[in-house]
A and B are shown apart, each in its own frame.
Chain A
Amino acid sequence: MSVSRVLRPASRLLSASRPTTALRPAFRPAASLPSIVSSRSYAQPAGTKEMTVREALNEAMAEEMEANPKVFVLGEEVAQYNGAYKVTKGLLDRFGEKRVIDSPITESGFAGLTVGAALAGLVPICEFMTFNFAMQAIDQIINSAAKTHYMSGGIQPCPVVFRGPNGFAAGVAAQHSQDYTAWYGSVPGLKVVSPYSSEDAKGLLKAAIRDPNPVIVLENELLYGLQFPMSEEAQSSDFVIPFGKAKIERPGKDLTMVTLSRCVGQCLVAAEQLKKNHGVETEVINLRSIKPMDVEAIVKSVKKTGHMMVVESGFPSFGVGAEIMALTCEYAFDYLDAPPVRVTGAEVPTPYAQKLEEMSFPTEQLITDYAAKLLRV
Chain B
Amino acid sequence: MELGVPATRFRSLMFPSVHFPGAVNSKFTTALDFERPSEKPAMPTYRYMDQDGAIVDKNREPIDVSDEEAIKMYKDMLTVSIMDLIMFDAQRQGRLSFYMVSAGEEGIAVGSAAALNPADVIFAQYRETGVFQQRGFSLDEFMSQLFANCKDYGKGRNMPVHYGSRKHNIHTISSPLATQIPHAAGAAYALKLQAAQNPNEEPRVVACYFGEGAASEGDFHAALNIAATRNCPVVFICRNNGYAISTPTLEQYRGDGIASRGVGYGIETIRVDGNDIFAVHEVTKEARRRALEGGGKPILIEAMSYRVSHHSTSDDSFAYRAKVEVEDWKRRDNPITRLRKYLEGKGVWNEEKEKATRSAIRKDVLAAFNRAEKEKRPALRNMMEGVYAQLTEEQEAQMRQLRDIIERYPDEYDVSEFEGGLDGLGVKRS
Contacts and interface: CB of A to CB of B under 8 A. Distances in A.
A362 B141 CA distance: 56
B179 A117 contact: no
Interface size class, chain B: 35 or more
B303 interface: no
A336 interface: no
B219 A150 contact: no
Interface stretch (B131-139, B191-199, B351-359, B400-408): B191-199
A121 B189 CA distance: 11
Interface in B139-191: 152-155, 157-158, 162, 164-166, 171-172, 174, 176, 179, 181-191
B186 A115 contact: yes
Interface in B189-218: 189-191, 193-194, 196-197, 218
B266 to A, nearest CB: 12
Contacts of B153: 152-153, 155
B389 A116 contact: no
A104 B225 contact: yes
Nearest to A103: B226
B182 A115 contact: yes
Residue in A150, A188, A292 with the greatest tally of chain B CB atoms within 10 Å: A150
A154 interface: yes
Residue in A101, A103, A106, A148 with the greatest tally of chain B CB atoms within 10 Å: A106
B182 A109 contact: yes
A116 B185 contact: yes
Interface size class, chain A: 35 or more
Interface in B361-392: 382, 385-389, 392
B218 A152 contact: no
B162 A151 contact: yes
A122 B181 CA distance: 17
B310 interface: no
Interface string A109-120: 111111111111
Nearest to B389: A212
Interface string A146-161: 0011111111110000
B386 A150 contact: yes
A112 B186 contact: yes
A139 interface: yes
Given A113-B189, A120-B121, A213 B172 contact: no
Contacts of A140: 179, 182, 219
A244 to B, nearest CB: 8
Nearest to B228: A104
A69 interface: yes
Interface of A: 69, 72, 98, 101, 103-104, 106-122, 124, 136, 139-140, 143-144, 148-157, 188-189, 191, 211-213, 292
Interface of B: 121, 123, 152-155, 157-158, 162, 164-166, 171-172, 174, 176, 179, 181-191, 193-194, 196-197, 218-219, 221-223, 225-226, 229-230, 382, 385-389, 392-394
A-B pairs with lowest CB-CB distance, top 3: A112-B182, A109-B222, A116-B186
Given A72-B193, A115-B183, A153-B164, 7 more contacts: A106-B218, A106-B226, A109-B221, A116-B184, A117-B190, A152-B158, A212-B389
17 contacts: A113-B182, A113-B189, A116-B123, A117-B187, A117-B190, A121-B194, A136-B218, A140-B179, A143-B176, A144-B183, A148-B172, A148-B174, A153-B157, A153-B158, A153-B386, A155-B153, A157-B389
